[in-house]
Chain A
Amino acid sequence: MKTTNTADTGAKGRQAWRRRGFIFAFLAPTVIAFTVFYLYPIITVVLTSFCKWDYTNITSPEFLGFKDMFNNYKYIFSTYPYFWEALRNSSLWAFLGVFLQIPVATLIALAFSRKMRGVKLVRNIYIIPNMISSAAMGMIFLQLYSPLYGIVNPIIQVFEEGFTENILLLKGPAFWALTGAYIFFTGTTTLLILGNIMAVPQEVREAAMLDGASGLKQDWYIVLPMIKDTLRTVSILAATGSFLIYNEVYFLTKGAAGTYSISYIIRELAITSPRTQFGRANTVAVVQILAGLVIIVLVNLLYSISFRRKHGSGEGGRK
């Protein structure tokens, strides 16, 4: 009796160990990847943002000391000439991600959700630009904007005769030309939203129809509130993604005409510049990480405020 009992608990114990071992072994590769690629770099970035670390002491970052701890930050904020320009541009792109890119993506998703002729074909075509790398897209737009053989200058010439300049070199227009090179390619976002629009139950639509809400009215009062979680997620992705823009800047302007982005100056400080400044690059990186968090909080706030109001008026009373 006694022996079988201990054998039983022994088997159970072995079982538990096996289970634990399995869990450990199956999680380990991903956790290691996470540590190597995310955790360790983030810790390095934060720590070395308080270090003197540049081309003069490549292998040995030196802590600035508690008194001068924030010297890199001071340098970036007050001396480095491109920081504020880059922060302004990147923030504006994040803003446009939420307030231009997502509305456009949603409108097109709504259009795709209607059972009309030709919708499927257009939907399939609309994804194509998203299948091409943004580097290639940047390259294509560089050609489109060329004053020599592009198509943008001929269009401007309709309104302003004799316009021969390169808009990528004009302060102001360059920013918008850069924005135009990526912002309207919302294929994947549109598909994500479309999937959720299609998941709105038919009964809900029929009920809305009986209340006299059809077409655009139905979209606004019934469909949008029901997909608000997805909208929030894609808004966050659009905003944080746009904040990181690098490829477009590199291929179109290389930062000329006031188009620096945060990612661009990080790479310039850390790698491209002949006088590399790793510590300061990581300082900008810390700002970038924090800005990303702020963006997430802001978008969440925006959604909870704007949808609470709608909720109050009695529509889409879910959750």
Chain B
Amino acid sequence: MKKQKPIKTISTATRIFTYICLAWALLVSLVPIVWLVMSSFKEDPLARPGFMLPESICLDGYISTFRDLHVMRYFGNSMWIAGVSVIVSMLMISMSAYVVARMEFKGKKIVSMMLYSTMFIPATALTYPVYNLVNRLNIYDTRAALIMIYACSGIAVSFIVIRNYYGNIPKELEEAARIDGCGYVQTWWRVIFPIARPGILTAAVLAFFNNWNEYYWASLVIIDRNKMTVPALLSTFTTAFRTNYNGLFSAMVVIILPPIILYCVFNKFFVEALSGGAVKG
């Protein structure tokens, strides 16, 4: 795979076509964000609409985002809710995926079918029963409600990723541990879990992004402003800012920044996770 000749074999037509695709990809992914950032520097976006460059760089919106909007509180909420739910679901799924990947038992097919099927159950169809359940458990309008929902949703993808990772661990390791006198739980916790950590981490990063960005349930089960997650906060913006467009744009930039920074940090890891074939058909 290292030094070969294929560079020469790319024909001009293919090359041009590829560049068109690349240009399109750049255009689509950059225009909205660049425009948003540019607009956030305009003192009055109404006076300089569209692609007009800002006259001078105005940072008032950013200052008020941190001072008046208490945006850090919402980051804290999101961090806590997404973090705890990911830990819970990873623990849960890495346990069951291990059993399904490595042991034979009655009903194994049903269990895996069940877990796979969650990928195709439309979450919005469950709106009312889940809302009702949250109310009956007396956790409506609490962070616990969202943690529960997030820990239970998205089972399928995590399950597939982690199960595939377990599948690549040689069986001899387990057998050796068993011969050394480890019980089942010990074998899993001491031997298998540490080896599978990269796979579990992959699933955790994917789940964390999903939960961080989730809007539907976040806007459904939490109404107290102080408990809101970042995406839910967005729906209050149109009324909160009214005609203060500079403030609106700045707040939006601040809100989309953390996932982008997180992505830049985890970028290599993330790309490998998805394109490394961790999730397959």
Interface set, chain A 18-59, CB cutoff 8 A to B:
18-20, 22-23, 26-27, 29-31, 33-34, 36-38, 40-42, 44-45
Jot down 18 A-B pairs with beta carbons below 8 A, ordered by A. Answer: A22-B185, A26-B98, A26-B188, A27-B95, A30-B115, A107-B21, A108-B21, A114-B10, A125-B30, A131-B259, A132-B259, A133-B215, A149-B49, A151-B51, A185-B28, A236-B120, A237-B119, A263-B216
State the Cβ distance, A135 to closest chain B Cβ, in Å: 4
Q: Assuming A114-B14, A282-B128, what are 9 further A-B pairs, CB within 8 angstroms?
A: A22-B184, A30-B95, A30-B159, A38-B126, A40-B129, A41-B133, A142-B238, A150-B49, A192-B275
CB neighbours (8 Å) of A216 from chain B are 13-14, 17
Query: How far does the alpha carbon of A228 sit from the alpha carbon of B249 in the complex, in Å?
Result: 42
| Closest chain A residue to B24, Cβ basis | A108
Query: How far does the alpha carbon of A18 sit from the alpha carbon of B105 in the complex, in Å?
Result: 13
| Closest chain A residue to B50, Cβ basis | A154
CB neighbours (8 Å) of B45 from chain A are 149
| Closest chain B residue to A41, Cβ basis | B129
Query: How far does the alpha carbon of A22 sit from the alpha carbon of B149 in the complex, in Å?
Result: 26
Q: Does A244 contact B (CB under 8 A)?
A: yes
State the Cβ distance, B51 to closest chain A Cβ, in Å: 6
CB neighbours (8 Å) of A205 from chain B are 6
User: B120 to A34, Cβ gap below 8 A?
Assistant: no
Interface set, chain A 211-247, CB cutoff 8 A to B:
214-216, 229-230, 232-233, 236-237, 240, 243-244, 246-247
B257-275: contact bitstring with A at CB < 8 Å (1 yes, 0 no)? Answer: 0011011000100110011
A244-279: contact bitstring with B at CB < 8 Å (1 yes, 0 no)? Answer: 101100110000000000110011001100000010
B145-176: contact bitstring with A at CB < 8 Å (1 yes, 0 no)? Answer: 00001011101000100000000000000000
CB neighbours (8 Å) of A316 from chain B are none
CB neighbours (8 Å) of A134 from chain B are 213, 215
B75-107: contact bitstring with A at CB < 8 Å (1 yes, 0 no)? Answer: 000000000000001011101101110010100
State the Cβ distance, A205 to closest chain B Cβ, in Å: 8
Q: Does B179 contact A (CB under 8 A)?
A: no
User: B252 to A139, Cβ gap below 8 A?
Assistant: yes
CB neighbours (8 Å) of B215 from chain A are 133-135, 247
Interface set, chain B 4-31, CB cutoff 8 A to A:
4, 6-7, 9-11, 13-15, 17-18, 21-22, 24-26, 28-31
Q: Does B59 contact A (CB under 8 A)?
A: no
User: B274 to A195, Cβ gap below 8 A?
Assistant: yes
CB neighbours (8 Å) of B237 from chain A are 139
User: A110 to B152, Cβ gap below 8 A?
Assistant: no
A-B pairs, top 7 by smallest CB distance, nearest first, are A133-B213, A215-B14, A195-B275, A37-B152, A41-B129, A111-B21, A285-B125
Query: How far does the alpha carbon of A307 sit from the alpha carbon of B42 in the complex, in Å?
Result: 53
User: B21 to A127, Cβ gap below 8 A?
Assistant: no
A149-181: contact bitstring with B at CB < 8 Å (1 yes, 0 no)? Answer: 111011000000000000000000000000000
User: A33 to B92, Cβ gap below 8 A?
Assistant: yes
Contacts A27-B96, A214-B9 given; does A140 touch B235 at CB 8 Å: no
How many chain B residues sit at the interface, stated as a range, is 35 or more
Q: Does A198 contact B (CB under 8 A)?
A: yes
CB neighbours (8 Å) of A141 from chain B are 32
User: A135 to B121, Cβ gap below 8 A?
Assistant: no
Q: Does A298 contact B (CB under 8 A)?
A: no
| Closest chain B residue to A120, Cβ basis | B271
Q: Does A292 contact B (CB under 8 A)?
A: yes
Q: Does A191 contact B (CB under 8 A)?
A: yes
State the Cβ distance, B138 to closest chain A Cβ, in Å: 15
Which residue of B105, B114, B214, B230 is within 8 Å of A34 (Cβ)?
Answer: B114
Which residue of A19, A131, A143, A187 is within 8 Å of B36 (Cβ)?
Answer: A143
User: B29 to A126, Cβ gap below 8 A?
Assistant: yes
User: A140 to B36, Cβ gap below 8 A?
Assistant: yes
User: A27 to B125, Cβ gap below 8 A?
Assistant: no
Q: Does B199 contact A (CB under 8 A)?
A: no
CB neighbours (8 Å) of A196 from chain B are 277, 280
User: A136 to B252, Cβ gap below 8 A?
Assistant: yes
User: B234 to A281, Cβ gap below 8 A?
Assistant: no
Q: Does B200 contact A (CB under 8 A)?
A: no
